[in-house]
Amino acid sequence: MKSILIKDCTILTMTEADEPVAGDLFIRDGKIAAIGSALTMEADEVIQAKGMAAMPGLINAHNHTPMSLLRGFSDDLILMDWLEKKMLPAEARMNEEDIYWGSQLAMAEMIRSGTTAFADMYIHMNEIATAIQENGMRASLTRGLVFFEDDGGRRMQEAIDLVDRWSGAANGRITTMFGPHAPYTCPPEPLREVIELARKRQVSLHIHLAETKEEIVKIREKYGQTPTEYLYHLGMFDHTHVLLAHSVHLNRRDIGYLKGMRGGIAHNPVSNLKLGCGIAPITDMDMQGITVGLGTDGAGSATTLDMFAEIKAACWLQKLDYGDPTRLPAKRALQMATIESAKLLGIDHQVGTLEVGKQADLILIDLQKPHLQPVHNVYALLAYSATGADVDTTIVDGRILMRHRQLLTINEEELYRQVTARIPRLVEGL
């Protein structure tokens, strides 16, 4: 593994005491070995980064990567039409190779837009894990579990097999969780089984929560509770780290149930906006000490996997919802996209900030562009003006995955050929 010296950049460590500094970063054996000014270490590669900002790689805390194959296929529909008439029938046609290429397409987009790690929930997870092994990203993988009908335990066994086979694989870049899909797709008994399995095996949980008003009505009619109360009284938050995706429709009492929980909320503002789901009360949760990270959801709903779009949307929505421009300032939003999301994936001891000893997951952003000049406040500039297209270099585990906007671990020409060939079979007649 080669050493890399990054020279003359503006460094944003995203630690609590972070203040942007001009300096250098030295990477050795996949880790950050030094941060300082005028570093003189010998390195296998020197990156001249004058005019660039270095920050931790963005971490997408909730995704469904193969849904990139359905980007733009079912926009401007009400949620249930989007799901039942478009998404589910198309997904039912996907085979294992489709899953592999769909996930590669999503990962190509994420690498290009500065995302270095993500949390994923889908089926055929072996194919997604294989893609990660090949392209060098970092991820937490979850086999989604829906209990609409008795399948003889097949889904559960696939979830267990994923944990057994892939936890710690790819030099530790792959971690795993158990993934009951949502309160409305998981009745009490199978959900208790998954919670107990997670507790015994000390594996985290990843679940959708309170994404729509319809979910609130369904759970209230069936169990006389909110979805959050439903999970709380089943013991989901008692012993286990839990990643809760969306959490749009939470009242004050719900937020009270989540105080002190292990894990936290993956906020997906763009997807929630496009599907008309609502605005999650994330600043209220943040002020209560609940960890809040950012994610995109799948490209089938969000369309884009650019985390810079999520950062903007998160800020704007909170300011608008509360009529308060001081809500969710730029630096806090950037922290949500880095260290706070790392906490949700359970990898904050490895990544999420730029600190000596942590894995070298970082990005270089080219500030020498009209929309990124002048630089009065680099946090505001990145949160409100930057896009994924401004990312020049993406590094994971000390390995360069993109240099000067050129992907180094994914063959884009073959990727686009495969995607184009598969699409007609997936969507014809829908």
Reading the chain (430 residues) residue by residue, the pLDDT tens digits are 899 999 999 999 999 888 899 999 999 999 999 999 999 999 999 999 999 999 999 999 999 999 999 999 989 988 778 888 999 899 999 999 999 999 999 999 999 999 999 999 999 999 999 999 999 999 999 999 999 777 768 999 999 999 999 999 999 999 999 999 999 999 999 999 999 999 999 999 999 999 999 999 999 999 999 999 999 999 999 999 999 999 999 999 999 999 999 999 999 999 999 999 999 999 999 999 999 999 999 999 999 999 999 999 999 999 999 999 999 999 999 999 999 999 999 999 999 999 999 999 999 999 999 999 999 999 999 999 999 999 999 999 999 999 999 999 999 999 999 999 999 999 999 9
Going by C-alpha positions, the residue among 65, 75, 154, 79 that lies closest to residue 117 is 65
Residue among 77, 59, 60, 81 at smallest CA distance from 297: 60
The domain spans of the chain are 4-56+354-407, 58-345
- In the chain, % helix, strand, coil (3-state, to 5) comes to 40, 25, 35
Alpha carbon distance 315, 233 (integer Å): 32
Torsion sign over Cα 78, 79, 84, 86: positive
Q: What residue type is assigned to position 300 of the chain? A: G
Strand ordering across the sheet containing 138-145: 58-63, 115-122, 138-145, 174-180, 204-209, 242-246, 263-267, 291-294
Closest CA to 307 of 59, 119, 53: 59
Domain 4-56+354-407 has CATH 2.30.40.10: yes
Classify residue 347 as exposed, middle or buried by CB count within 10 Å of its CB (0-12, 13-18, 19+): buried
* Domains 4-56+354-407 and 58-345 fall in the same CATH topology: no
pTM exceeds cut of 0.75: yes
Say which CATH architecture domain 58-345 belongs to: Alpha-Beta Barrel (3.20)
Bridge partners of 393? 364
Residue 21 pairs in a beta bridge with 11
- Residue 420's identity, in one-letter code, is T
Q: Please name which of 350, 338, 352, 340 lies closest in space to residue 382, comparing C-alpha atoms.
A: 338
Let me know: does 128 contact 65? Beta carbons within 8 Å.
yes
CA torsion angle 343 188 67 247 (round to 10): -50
